[in-house]
Copies of this chain bind each other. A is one copy, B any other.
Amino acid sequence: MSSTYGTLFRVTTFGESHCAAVGAVVDGCPSGLKISTADIQQQLDRRRPGQSHLSTPRDEVDQVVILSGVEAGVALGTPIALTVANRDQRPGDYGAMNTIPRPSHADYTYQMKYGVRASSGGGRSSARETIGRVAAGAIAEKYLHETYGVEIVAYVSAVGEIDAPWIDPARLTRIEVDQTPVRCPDLAASAQMEKMIVDAAAEKDSLGGIITCVCRNVPVGLGEPVFNKLEALLAQAMLSIPAVKGFDLGSGFSGTRLKGSQHNDLFVMKGDRIGTGTNRSGGVQGGISNGEPILFRVAFKPTATIGQPQKTIDFSGSSVVLEAAGRHDPCVLPRAVPIVEAMAALTLIDLALIQQTRMNRG
């Protein structure tokens, strides 16, 4: 249950870390949208392992195949099935883990919930599950861009204790983000982060951090009060990404320190539209987009898999020392950037389609 996201633009992902294939079915893609594998591959390439020296050596090309729903490069409005083969299957790497639940992993909880689990890797909690999201998100993003000019750009704003300085969300591009393997557009901070990641890898340790995301040109009116407020669905979307532990929007946690007189976004004219002079609301008021950039942060814990020995217990309760041998990233954030973008796009397109039902009110 619950591998489906969305109401009108519905994405269902499938696949474990070491089964035959992972992928997604996108149901409800607006017909007529032009879609090529290249549109999708672009974001998958930004997510794939082995893309830089900072990433796991598990080398997967992650080539997407479109099975249905697109003919002659045009979406038919019918379900689009997308698959990516799992070429690099090495279940042996994880052998010992069958009896030892890895700390801060999903091994223990999956076993308890389902009474069985994939014999190797993280099963559905594996990062490979996110391939289906990224593929589907690329389609959503294309629609949003062509229909409304929406631009979604995420970047790494913190790794461990290193914070990037403020970066202007109004102009940031993916090209700037992709200048470095860390995907932090501030080159000085990026260099520090890169060194920190290399050092952590050398120490068989891992790092967490923060991804910041901006969505520009989102039309006014998206978000369905009260339980499907835009920020509520974004929060769900982001917390559904593996390793995410927090989300905030606009002024977020730091805004709780301000007074109302400091925090309120006063209205001003911006050309011929009503806007706000500041954007502590993060582009959302009352759960509905207000036309300002949507700004949010996503907190990632440090990678749970580390090479250092850990004193823990096995499923029978006996003390053991676990040393992970599998492939893993010392810091998932650079590769998580397109995942955050994908989940943002999937959230926005669904709300945009729902809002289109209100367009003919005259």
A75 to B125, CA, bound (A): 16
Residues from chain B with a CB closer than 8 A to the CB of A266 are 103, 310-312
Residues from chain B with a CB closer than 8 A to the CB of A43 are none
Please determine whether A31 and B116 come into contact, CB atoms closer than 8 angstroms.
yes
A264 to B323, CA, bound (A): 13
A301 to B281, CA, bound (A): 9
Q: What is the total number of copies of this protein in its complex? A: 4
List A91-127 residues whose CB lies under 8 Å from chain B. Answer: 101, 103-106, 108-110, 112-119, 122-125
Please determine whether B206 and A304 come into contact, CB atoms closer than 8 angstroms.
no
Residues from chain B with a CB closer than 8 A to the CB of A261 are 205-206, 306, 308, 310
The yes or no answer to A23 lying at the interface (CB within 8 A) is yes
Residues from chain B with a CB closer than 8 A to the CB of A210 are 253, 256
Please determine whether A315 and B274 come into contact, CB atoms closer than 8 angstroms.
yes
The yes or no answer to A25 lying at the interface (CB within 8 A) is yes
List A306-362 residues whose CB lies under 8 Å from chain B. Answer: 306, 308, 310-313, 315, 317, 353-362
Contact partner of A354 (CB less than 8 A), chosen from B281, B302, B312, B357, is B357
Of the listed stretches A6-14, A54-62, A165-173, A186-194, chain B binds A6-14
Using CB atoms, name the residue of chain B closest to A360.
Answer: B356
Chain A to chain B: the 5 pairs with minimum beta-carbon distance, closest first: A106-B286, A246-B248, A206-B260, A2-B224, A2-B228
The yes or no answer to A178 lying at the interface (CB within 8 A) is no
The yes or no answer to A45 lying at the interface (CB within 8 A) is no
A362 to B114, CA, bound (A): 11
Contact string against B for A residues 218-236, beta-carbon threshold 8 Å, 1 for contact and 0 otherwise? 0011011111110111111
Chain A residues bordering chain B, tally (CB within 8 A): 155
The yes or no answer to A269 lying at the interface (CB within 8 A) is yes
Please determine whether B115 and A361 come into contact, CB atoms closer than 8 angstroms.
yes
The yes or no answer to A42 lying at the interface (CB within 8 A) is no
The yes or no answer to A16 lying at the interface (CB within 8 A) is yes
Known: A117-B76, A245-B282, A282-B245. A260 touches B205 (CB 8 A): yes
Please determine whether B27 and A108 come into contact, CB atoms closer than 8 angstroms.
no
List A271-320 residues whose CB lies under 8 Å from chain B. Answer: 274, 276, 280-282, 284-290, 297, 299-306, 308, 310-313, 315, 317
The yes or no answer to A83 lying at the interface (CB within 8 A) is yes
The yes or no answer to A79 lying at the interface (CB within 8 A) is yes
Quote the shortest CB–CB distance from A266 to chain B (angstroms).
5
The yes or no answer to A74 lying at the interface (CB within 8 A) is yes
Residues from chain B with a CB closer than 8 A to the CB of A354 are 1, 8, 357
Please determine whether A23 and B81 come into contact, CB atoms closer than 8 angstroms.
yes
Residues from chain B with a CB closer than 8 A to the CB of A274 are 101, 108, 313, 315, 317
Known: A118-B76, A205-B261, A302-B258. A30 touches B124 (CB 8 A): no
Known: A117-B76, A119-B72, A239-B229. A161 touches B23 (CB 8 A): no
Residues from chain B with a CB closer than 8 A to the CB of A179 are none
Residues from chain B with a CB closer than 8 A to the CB of A267 are 101, 103, 108, 312-313
List A51-91 residues whose CB lies under 8 Å from chain B. Answer: 65-69, 71-72, 74-81, 83
List A169-227 residues whose CB lies under 8 Å from chain B. Answer: 200, 205-210, 220-221, 223-227
Contact partner of A252 (CB less than 8 A), chosen from B32, B246, B288, is B246
Residues from chain B with a CB closer than 8 A to the CB of A265 are 103-104
Please determine whether A257 and B208 come into contact, CB atoms closer than 8 angstroms.
yes
